[in-house]
Chain A
């Protein structure tokens, strides 16, 4: 469809970049934060930062749902795997470090850990092998949580339980905007999370914090226009909520998905790796579904894990306080082949994306 062809038009990009230069304030720094690993990929892969004036900084917030899973929750999955439960997870999760080991390390020790593309695959596996106990490690933001909800409503097989680690994005954005030392000037809100939640949850950012907020898509021109729209709002002095990604995001979001999520999940406080507890940011199974909760079924609960290995600065990268290149381990002790921190593991982690760009440029 029109998607790829026109949304990457270099001539149009040049024209937007010119307009961006025109609306950029003459003095001071403008700091725009996005909260999505896919945005970071677009920005790095297409060299968007090189098109922006020096005074416009685009930083990456905690937009990688794999990177923010605290070590304690990885530890729980590892414990299950070592207790002969088949742990199914998305590929990205496999190498995320726990306090002592990752799921991949557990697999190397003989545990049955399997990568799935979708929660539906975990359901199929459990149905095919009724003699084994299965657990699905449900990681992901609002984009992914509805699929877990669908399978929960469909009554999953009895030998399948769930370790729910879903997190919500707007509470993390609220935390960022309240961090005084980050001093943000605008948000690029995550496009695919927004297909589910719609625009309403972002209303507080312009209203309460005077923060221009633009929901943007993932083609390079989407991001450039998002930046332009934020700068224009700043110039006009009228912060508001705008939707650049109209082809996928409706004001109300996906109401069917929202209803399912409400039926299946409660909202509770949740720990984010390197950040700490964020109020009302985690989903957990409602009482009707606790029989499917792997924590209860196997009595696993790890309260405290080791989120950061010595020297790792993931906690600062994850909130956009430093760039990956400002960590001493980056591309020295911590590489995509041998990651130390979670941000280097997932393909959506900021360090991993930067590492790939550096390797590509090097060639």
Chain B
């Protein structure tokens, strides 16, 4: 039930947005809860965008994971 799916905002009109869930699946969602612009990725839960996804943070997470794993290996190798 707390499932939320990422989607890209393709069109905005007042508190409604057309979002693309990928592969051309478009749906209207309510964006009252977030500040978004066209092109942003949002998390959609039960027809409402609940948060804006940070693409930079996503890249950063992956980079950080690799860094942690490498650092751990170095510590162990010493």
Using CB atoms and an 8 Å cutoff, list the residues of chain A in contact with chain B. 1-3, 6-7, 12, 15-16, 19, 22, 36-38, 63-66, 90, 92, 117-121, 139-141, 143-144, 146-147, 150, 190, 192-193, 195-196, 221, 225, 244, 246-250, 254, 256-257, 260, 346, 348
Contacts and interface: CB of A to CB of B under 8 A. Distances in A.
Given A192-B45, A247-B58, A144 B65 contact: no
A336 B30 CA distance: 32
In which size bucket is the chain B interface? 20 to 34
Nearest to B56: A247
A356 to B, nearest CB: 15
Contacts of B58: 1-3, 247
B9 to A, nearest CB: 13
Given A3-B53, A90-B46, 12 more contacts: A37-B2, A38-B2, A63-B2, A90-B1, A144-B45, A146-B50, A246-B54, A247-B54, A248-B43, A249-B51, A254-B50, A254-B51
Q: Would you list the 9 A-B pairs with minimal beta carbon distance, nearest first? A: A118-B47, A195-B51, A247-B57, A247-B58, A143-B2, A147-B48, A192-B2, A246-B57, A192-B4
A120 B33 CA distance: 14
A144 B53 CA distance: 18
Nearest to B35: A256
B57 A147 contact: no
B69 A150 contact: no
Contact of A246 (B1, B46, B61, B66): B61
B46 A144 contact: yes
Nearest to B60: A246
A65 B57 contact: no
A12 B65 CA distance: 9
A38 to B, nearest CB: 5
The secondary structure that dominates the B interface is: mixed
B59 interface: yes
Interface in B1-47: 1-4, 6, 30, 32-35, 41, 43, 45-47
B65 A140 contact: no
Given A147-B30, A248-B43, A16 B65 contact: yes
B1 A346 contact: yes
B76 interface: yes
A353 to B, nearest CB: 12
Contacts of A12: 65-66, 69
Contacts of B3: 37-38, 192, 348
A149 B71 CA distance: 46
B77 interface: no
Nearest to A5: B62
Contacts of B76: 22
Given A3-B6, A247-B61, A37 B1 contact: yes
B51 A15 contact: no
A2 B76 CA distance: 30
Nearest to A63: B2
Nearest to B33: A257
28 contacts: A1-B41, A1-B55, A2-B55, A2-B58, A3-B53, A6-B62, A7-B62, A12-B66, A19-B69, A38-B3, A65-B1, A117-B46, A139-B1, A144-B45, A147-B33, A150-B30, A150-B33, A192-B50, A196-B51, A246-B60, A247-B53, A247-B54, A256-B35, A257-B33, A260-B32, A260-B33, A346-B1, A348-B2
A88 to B, nearest CB: 12
A256 B72 contact: no
B2 A119 contact: no
